[in-house]
Amino acid sequence: MPDGQKPSAGAARIVDLLDLGAGHLSGAVDMPRREAARLLGEVLGLEEAQVYARSDEDVPAPAEVSYGQLIRRRADRVPMAYLVGRREFYGRRFEVDPRALVPRPETEHLVEATLECVGVGAGARVLDLGTGSGCIAITVALERPDASVVATDLSLGALAVAASNCRRHDVDGRVRLVRADLLSALRLQAFDVVVSNPPYIDIGEWHSLMPEVRDHEPPEALFAGDGLDFYRRLFGAGELFAAGQRLLVEIGKGQLDGVRELAERGGFEVEAVVLDLAAIARVVRLRRR
């Protein structure tokens, strides 16, 4: 919509569409007006603040149609990140679609802890298990330009999203994507640091999840039996790791004791536990004895 455009008969104004959209979203999302403004901004190519500032301007008919479609999908609890096709992670933009988990802010703690292990100028070799959108692998590659990264996933769809993000961030030559079921087909000892944000939700919690997660994110990125299945397999393969090798995992609320026990049984010692901003134990740094 060009600057200074005069309202024309029949065309809806920004403010009217905001009211309509917010009304449609109320009851479904926490901040209906803000989300409506974000979606209207998306179709008009405007920032949220510009949407408010230009509230008297007309909206072209095709944009109004696209906006209506987005509002309906958001009312169906499709995550905002899937509607706009992106999410910020560690200060960078990652493309996302329903083939990959939406990167979460708490996973930035896992990246921080990994970067501490992957020193600057060390030429470290890093393995990211279950890469999803590629957010961990790509961030490590960008923050440690001398590191080489292998990123795996079982899902071809997730690997396609990760490949697209590798191109977007220009690391497609430095992050190698491999389709693998957990540790199969990997020579683990070739890596200095192994990192994973695996599926860790107990399938029994399905009913209590937000509809955005339960109904729209890929189940293979969420659920792991009683929540600990992935860790069980990972630590159960402890003999494949070299003595002194580092492994960092993200865990869910209340899983620290269970994860610690499995890890110790698999020959790992817990070196550090990182709490997230809600004081939940979120990252465990382990070392193979």
Ligand X SMILES: C[S@@+](CC[C@H](N)C(=O)[O-])C[C@H]1O[C@@H](n2cnc3c(N)ncnc32)[C@H](O)[C@@H]1O
Q: By the criterion CB under 6 A, which residues form the site for ligand X? A: 101, 103, 107, 130-133, 135-136, 152-155, 158, 181-182, 197-199, 220-221
Give the shortest CB-22-to-ligand X separation in angstroms: 30
Give the shortest CB-150-to-ligand X separation in angstroms: 12
Q: Where would I find the beta strands (DSSP E) of 154-201? A: 175-179, 193-196
Toward ligand X, which CB reaches closer, 32 or 199?
Answer: 199
Toward ligand X, which CB reaches closer, 199 or 266?
Answer: 199
Contacts 24+ apart (CB under 8 A), 85-92: 87/133, 89/133, 89/135, 89/139, 90/135, 90/139, 90/143, 92/138, 92/139, 92/142, 92/169
Give the shortest CB-99-to-ligand X separation in angstroms: 9
Toward ligand X, which CB reaches closer, 36 or 101?
Answer: 101
Give the shortest CB-269-to-ligand X separation in angstroms: 24
Q: Report yes or no: 155 and 99 within 8 Å, Cβ to Cβ.
A: yes
Residue (of 208, 197, 207) closest to 252 by Cα position: 197
How far is 52 from 34, CA to CA, in rounded Å? 10
Toward ligand X, which CB reaches closer, 54 or 169?
Answer: 169
Q: Where would I find the beta strands (DSSP E) of 198-256? A: 246-250
Toward ligand X, which CB reaches closer, 59 or 195?
Answer: 195
With a CB cutoff of 8 Å and minimum separation 6, the contacts of 145 are none
Give the shortest CB-265-to-ligand X separation in angstroms: 20
